[in-house]
Amino acid sequence: MNPIVGAGFLGVEHFTPPWDVFFLPLFNLLIGFYQLIFSDFALAIIVFTIVIRTILAPLFVRQIRSQREAQRMAPLIREVQRKHKGNRTKIAEETQILYREHGVNPAAGCLPLLIQLPLLFALYQALIRASNVVTITAEQAASDAFSKLQEAVPGITALAGTTTQFRAPISGVCDLPAFNGEFSHFLPLNCQLIDPLKLSEPVQTSVSWLFGLDLAQIDHVFSLSLGGFALSGLAVAAAILQFVQVRMTSPKPIEGDPTSSTTNTMTYLFPLLTIWWGGLFPSGLILYWVVYTAYLIVQQYTIMGFGNLFPLFGWHPRFAPAPEGMLLAAPPRRDSADGGDAKDETRQPSTPRPRAPGATRPGQRPGGKKKRRGRKR
């Protein structure tokens, strides 16, 4: 859709629906924290993250509670699947009955996540936009279209030591056709800010109390260089927090269950991906991820305690109580070699077996008389 240019509407001159419905409020909120309160980009990111997560807290609480109920019902559902193996219709019917009996809506955990996805992506874009670092390909940087854009918008400047990273201008024209295509990120920042938040100079992304860390660049302060890859200390911290956060809500692994095995693998895979992203994305995004994940851990703890975090690699501290008990299904039966069902391993109450006619009880002589012991008087 073509942009709607609304000069005079709170000073916002470039508004492209429907995406800007999510993006512009978040972008203005982040710049507002920076301009009006802190004049510190790191503090603005931290407070911005806490405010947004607090607003989304009801959705998150509902999602966590739904996950807990799904974990509690997992043994029952597995028993239904074992009992009616091969009969998908019967499995679906019995599963729905279980959900109704326990008051669980299987879609309750998905809806909050779907609502949050556009907001989370808009948060990412707001941080990139405020950092004001635009990365393009070498082909785009050498194209005639980009040369014409630089002539029309003189404020586009290249970062030192690179030919593919640039800073967008603060002010300038807001309705160039190039802003609707591949060079949309070069739109001047003030075109999307309300009047009280118009910038007179670029956002200062270097933070003194973080030892001069530039939040618009990859972390080179708290990092180690490994063969050209920056192993970010911030990314390692984010990965540890993410591991804790995911493990708290992950179900306990069950031997032989492929779904459980996949979930357990993701618990370790996502933190490793976070470390990898730390060497690719600006450190401002990693700082946001650290604060975001730490806030989720606090929220989860208030709802479910430590969840399934412990035992952790065999360690279970005294201050952490045992996880809340799950609803247990009947133990599965083992099929015997001839196709019949073997006896359950659980102990069952004994019942007297019928005796054949004429059979004697222990301690009884033939004829029905019991043998008397003792001294004859």
331 found inside a domain:
no
Summarize the confidence of residues 132-158 as an average pLDDT.
91
The sign of the dihedral angle between the CA atoms of 175, 180, 181, 184 is positive
- 255 and 147 in a common domain: no
Summarize the confidence of residues 13-20 as an average pLDDT.
87
Summarize the confidence of residues 68-79 as an average pLDDT.
77
342 found inside a domain:
no
Summarize the confidence of residues 157-185 as an average pLDDT.
89
Question: What is the pLDDT at residue 21?
Answer: 87
- 44 and 100 in a common domain: yes
- 141 and 2 in a common domain: yes
Question: What is the pLDDT at residue 98?
Answer: 83
| Average pLDDT along the chain | 78
Residue linked to tokens 């069902």: 341
Residue 44: HSE in the Cβ half-sphere, 13 Å Cα cutoff: 29
- 229 and 197 in a common domain: no
330 found inside a domain:
no
For residue 42, pLDDT beyond 90:
yes
- 221 and 126 in a common domain: no
Question: What is the pLDDT at residue 327?
Answer: 40
The sign of the dihedral angle between the CA atoms of 31, 274, 69, 83 is positive
Selected residue with higher pLDDT from 86 and 347: 86
Where among 286, 318, 350 does a domain terminate? 318
Summarize the confidence of residues 43-53 as an average pLDDT.
92
Number of domains observed in the structure of the chain? 2
Range(s) of the domain holding residue 299 = 206-318
335 found inside a domain:
no
Selected residue with higher pLDDT from 288 and 77: 288
Selected residue with higher pLDDT from 5 and 278: 278
369 found inside a domain:
no
- 191 and 64 in a common domain: yes
- For the stretch 206-263, pLDDT in tens is 999 999 999 988 898 999 988 878 899 999 999 999 888 888 777 665 554 555 556 6
- 252 and 293 in a common domain: yes
- 154 and 59 in a common domain: yes
Selected residue with higher pLDDT from 9 and 364: 9
Question: What is the pLDDT at residue 74?
Answer: 75
- 214 and 171 in a common domain: no
- For the stretch 309-354, pLDDT in tens is 776 666 667 766 665 544 444 444 444 444 444 444 444 444 444 4
- 178 and 72 in a common domain: yes
Where among 318, 333, 360 does a domain terminate? 318
Which of 95-99, 189-193, 229-233 shows the lowest mean pLDDT across its residues? 95-99
Distances (CA, A) of 255 to 43, 74, 204, 261, 264: 45, 14, 52, 8, 11
Percent of the chain at pLDDT exceeding 70: 73
Question: What is the pLDDT at residue 260?
Answer: 52
302 found inside a domain:
yes
242 found inside a domain:
yes
364 found inside a domain:
no
- 218 and 94 in a common domain: no
- 75 and 171 in a common domain: yes
Where among 149, 170, 204 does a domain terminate? 204
